C-alpha cells in the first residue's frame, strides 16, 4: 500500500511511466533536472518538486529512470541525494539501464538507512512505457519484489524475478547485447542479398521462414519499406537510438572484461555502433546499421 510515490528522471521513459501510475490512482511526486519535464507532468496531475530531497522525504517508494551509471550513483549518494533523505521502510527501485555494480553498490547503502533497494530495468521501449506493458527484470530480495509488484504492474505487464542484486541488469544487458548483434547480422545478410540482386521482400520472406529468423528480421527489419510502422520505414526516427545501444553494449563490454567472459561479437557490435554514433547517427534507431553497412554515398 504505497500512498506516496516519488519518481526521479522524467524523460522519454519516465514521463509515460508516471502517467500510468497516476492513471491507476497513485499520487506521484516528480523531479528532473530539466524543468520542462517536471512541468509537463505537473500539468498531468503530478506534484512537481524542485529537488531530490523534496521527492524522497515522505515517499514510501522512489523510482529512478536516469540515463547512465553516473546519474544514478550521483542521485543516490550526493549531498541532498536519495540516501540522505530516504524514509525508513521505503522501497527504492532503479529502472535505468546501468552497470550491475551500481545496484550492488547502492543496495547495502540503502539497507544501512533502513530502506530496501531493487534493480528493476525494463524492456519494451517507449511504446511499452506508454501502453503500460513494460517487462520489469528484478534483482534483489524476492520478498521485496513481491511487495512492490502491484505498483510495477501499473506500468508494466510482467515482473520477472532474476536473482540477487544486479541480476535484473545482467538479464537486461544480455538481451540488449543480443539485439545489437542480431540487428547487425540481419543488416549484413539483407545488404549482401540485395547487393547481389535479390528482391528485398522475397529475401525477408526467406529469412523469416528459415533458420536466420529473429526479431530483428521479422518484427523490426532494417530495410526501409518492407514493414510498416517500424523506424526503418520512417527514416530511422524514434525507436531505440544508436547512442543507447552503444551505451548498453559498453556496459556488456565492461562487465565481460571484469569477469573474464569473452564476448567477441558483443565487442565488435559495440565498436560498430560507437562509430555510427560518432558519424552523427546517435539519435537514429539502431536499424540504421543497414544504411551504415550499405556504404552508399
> Is residue 32 within the footprint of ligand NAD (CB under 6 A)?
yes
| The three cell numbers locating residue 151 | 505498483
**Contact flag: residue 33 with ligand NAD (CB under 6 A):** yes
Name the CA radius of gyration of the chain, rounded: 20
126 in contact with ligand NAD (CB under 6 A): yes
What distance in Å separates the CA atoms of residue 20 and residue 14, rounded to the nearest whole number?
A: 10
Q: Is 290 exposed, middle or buried (0-12, 13-18, 19+ CB in 10 A)?
A: buried
Q: Which stretch binds ligand NAD (CB under 6 A): 2-10, 83-91, 210-218, 220-228?
A: 2-10
Is residue 8 close enough to count as binding ligand NAD by CB under 6 A?
Answer: yes
Query: Does residue 65 bind ligand NAD (CB under 6 A)?
Result: yes
Q: Please identify which residue in 14, 132, 156, 193 interacts with ligand NAD, judged by CB under 6 A.
A: 14
- Indicate the angle between helix axes 69-77 and 100-112, nearest 10 degrees: 10
Residue placing its CB nearer to ligand NAD in the complex, 37 or 152: 37
Q: Identify the active-site residue in 4, 87, 172, 247.
A: 172
Which DSSP state fits 50?
Answer: S
160: helix, coil or strand? strand
- Read off the C-alpha cell for 222: 532494417
172 in active site? yes
Using CB atoms, what's the residue nearest to ligand NAD? Answer: 11
> Is there binding between residue 237 and ligand NAD (CB under 6 A)?
no
CB neighbours of 269 closer than 8 A, spacing ≥ 6?
A: 177, 180, 181, 184, 249
Contact letters for ligand NAD, residues 171-210 (x by CB under 6 A):
----------------------------------------
**82 has which bridge partners?**
none
Sole binder of ligand NAD in the list 53, 67, 101, 161 (CB under 6 A): 67
Stretch that binds ligand NAD, among 33-41, 83-91, 205-213, 260-268 (CB under 6 A): 33-41
123 and 175 in contact (C-beta within 8 Å)? yes
- Which of 65-73, 100-108, 259-267, 289-297 is the region at the interface with ligand NAD (rule: CB under 6 A)? 65-73
> Considering only 121-129, 182-190, 215-223, 261-269, which stretch makes contact with ligand NAD by CB under 6 A?
121-129
Give the span between the Cα atoms of 174 and 170, in whole angstroms: 6
Amino acid at each position: 500500500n504505497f500512498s506516496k510515490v516519488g519518481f526521479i528522471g522524467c524523460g522519454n521513459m519516465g514521463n509515460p511511466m508516471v502517467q500510468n501510475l497516476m492513471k491507476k490512482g497513485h499520487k506521484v511526486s516528480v523531479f528532473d533536472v530539466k524543468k520542462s519535464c517536471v512541468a509537463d507532468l505537473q500539468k498531468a496531475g503530478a506534484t512537481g518538486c524542485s529537488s531530490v530531497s523534496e521527492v524522497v522525504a515522505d515517499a514510501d517508494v522512489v523510482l529512478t529512470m536516469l540515463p547512465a551509471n553516473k546519474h544514478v550513483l550521483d542521485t543516490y549518494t550526493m549531498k541532498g541525494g536519495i540516501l540522505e533523505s530516504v524514509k525508513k521502510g521505503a522501497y527504492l527501485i532503479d529502472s535505468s539501464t546501468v552497470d550491475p555494480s551500481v545496484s550492488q553498490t547502492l543496495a547495502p547503502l540503502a539497507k544501512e538507512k533502513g530502506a530496501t533497494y531493487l534493480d528493476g530495468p525494463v524492456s519494451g521501449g517507449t511504446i511499452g512505457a506508454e501502453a503500460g506493458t513494460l517487462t520489469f527484470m528484478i534483482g534483489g530480495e524476492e520478498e521485496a519484489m513481491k511487495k512492490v509488484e502491484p505498483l510495477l504492474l501499473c506500468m508494466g505487464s510482467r515482473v520477472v524475478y532474476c536473482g540477487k542484486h544486479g541480476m535484473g541488469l545482467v538479464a537486461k544487458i544480455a538481451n540488449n547485447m543480443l539485439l545489437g548483434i542480431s540487428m547487425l547480422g540481419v543488416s549484413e545478410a539483407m545488404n549482401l542479398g540485395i547487393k547481389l540482386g535479390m528482391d528485398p521482400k522475397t529475401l525477408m520472406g526467406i529469412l523469416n521462414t528459415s533458420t536466420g529468423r529473429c526479431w530483428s528480421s521479422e518484427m523490426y527489419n532494417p530495410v526501409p519499406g518492407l514493414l510498416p510502422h517500424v523506424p526503418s520505414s520512417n527514416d530511422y526516427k524514434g525507436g531505440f537510438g544508436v547512442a543507447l545501444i552503444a551505451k548498453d553494449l559498453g556496459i556488456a563490454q565492461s562487465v565481460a572484461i571484469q569477469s573474464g567472459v569473452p564476448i567477441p561479437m558483443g565487442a565488435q557490435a559495440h565498436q560498430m555502433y560507437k562509430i555510427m554514433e560518432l558519424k552523427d547517427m546517435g539519435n537514429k534507431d539502431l536499424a540504421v546499421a543497414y544504411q551504415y553497412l550499405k556504404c552508399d554515398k
